[in-house]
C-alpha cells in the first residue's frame, strides 16, 4: 500500500504544488488530502488541478475538536507536511502523529525563526542583519514555532547586490528542489504503521 501524505497550507502553495507533482505518479507514496485554514487560499485550486481532495477548517475545529485527527487517521495518513501553514500545531495532532509532522522554513534555523517569522519578514531580517548566506531548514514540528529537530538544511550565498526578491527566489529554488526529496527519504525510513 502506498504511503499517504497530508499537506497543510495557508496560502498560494507553490511548495504544495511541487510535492503534488513529485508524488503524482510515485510508486510508493501519494498526496491523500490538502488541508487549509484559508477558504481563499490559491492552494485549493492547485489541489483541485491534481484531483486531490481538500478540507477547509476554522480555529474551533482545529484547536477544540478531534475532527482533523480523526479525518487524517481515517485516511490512514503516514506523514503530515506543512507547506506555508501559519498556525501552531495543537497537542492532539502532535500526539497522534509523533515525529511525523514536517515543516520547511525559508531560513537557516535556529536564526530567524519563531512566532511571526514567515514570508518576507524572514528574508528582510536576513538582509537587515547583513548575513552572508541564507537557505532553508526542513524540521520536525513540535509545540513551539520553528524549534523542532532539524532534518535537513541547504544554503546559498547572499551576494552584495541581492535584494529581497532575489533572496526569496534563491530560497524558493532550494525549497522546490529539496522538500519533495526529503519527504520521500523520510517515508522510506518509516516502518508501516
Half-sphere exposure of 171 (CA within 13 A, CB side): 26
Half-sphere exposure of 62 (CA within 13 A, CB side): 16
Domains belonging to the chain, first-starting first, are 3-189 (3.40.50.170)
Whether the CB-CB separation of 46 and 19 falls below 8 Å is answered with no
Give the integer Cα–Cα distance in Å for 16 and 29.
15
How sure is the predictor about 192, in pLDDT bands with cuts at 50, 70 and 90?
Answer: low
The pLDDT of residue 4 = 98
Give the integer Cα–Cα distance in Å for 123 and 106.
8
**Mean of the pLDDT values across residues 59-71?**
98
Task: Count CB atoms within 10 A of the CB of residue 146.
Answer: 21
The pLDDT of residue 190 = 87
Q: Mean of the per-residue pLDDT values for the chain?
A: 96
- Smallest CA-to-CA distance from 50 within 25, 73, 68, 67 is with 25
How sure is the predictor about 38, in pLDDT bands with cuts at 50, 70 and 90?
Answer: very high
**Mean of the pLDDT values across residues 126-152?**
96
Instruction: State the pTM of this model.
Output: 0.96
The pLDDT of residue 157 = 97
Residue 69: what are its φ and ψ, rounded to 5°? -55, -50
Whether the CB-CB separation of 35 and 47 falls below 8 Å is answered with no
List 55, 105, 123, 178, catalytic entry: 105
| Percentage of the chain lying above the pLDDT 70 cut | 98
Whether the CB-CB separation of 57 and 68 falls below 8 Å is answered with yes
Which residues, listed in sequence order, are joined to residue 138 by a DSSP beta bridge?
Answer: 104, 152
**Mean of the pLDDT values across residues 151-174?**
97
Q: Is 55 a catalytic residue?
A: no
The pLDDT of residue 77 = 98
Would you state the cell numbers that stand for residue 163, as one nine-digit string?
Answer: 535584494
Amino acid at each position: 500500500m502506498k504511503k499517504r501524505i497530508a499537506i497543510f497550507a495557508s496560502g498560494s502553495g507553490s511548495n504544495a504544488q511541487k510535492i503534488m507533482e513529485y508524488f503524482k505518479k510515485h510508486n510508493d507514496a501519494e498526496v491523500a488530502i490538502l488541508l487549509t485554514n484559508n477558504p481563499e487560499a490559491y492552494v485549493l485550486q492547485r489541489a483541485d488541478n491534481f484531483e486531490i481532495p481538500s478540507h477547509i477548517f476554522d480555529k474551533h475545529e482545529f484547536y477544540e475538536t478531534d475532527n482533523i485527527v480523526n479525518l487524517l487517521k481515517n485516511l490512514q495518513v503516514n506523514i503530515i507536511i506543512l507547506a506555508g501553514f501559519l498556525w501552531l500545531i495543537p497537542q492532539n495532532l502532535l500526539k497522534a502523529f509523533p515525529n511525523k509532522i514536517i515543516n520547511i522554513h525559508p531560513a537557516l534555523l535556529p536564526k530567524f525563526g519563531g512566532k511571526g517569522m514567515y514570508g518576507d519578514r524572514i528574508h528582510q531580517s536576513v538582509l537587515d542583519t547583513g548575513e552572508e548566506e541564507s537557505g532553508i531548514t526542513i524540521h520536525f514540528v513540535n509545540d513551539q514555532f520553528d524549534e523542532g529537530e532539524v532534518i535537513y538544511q541547504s544554503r546559498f550565498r547572499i551576494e552584495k547586490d541581492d535584494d529581497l526578491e532575489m533572496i526569496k527566489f534563491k530560497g524558493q529554488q532550494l525549497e522546490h528542489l529539496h522538500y519533495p526529496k526529503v519527504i520521500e527519504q523520510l517515508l522510506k525510513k518509516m516502518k508501516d504503521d
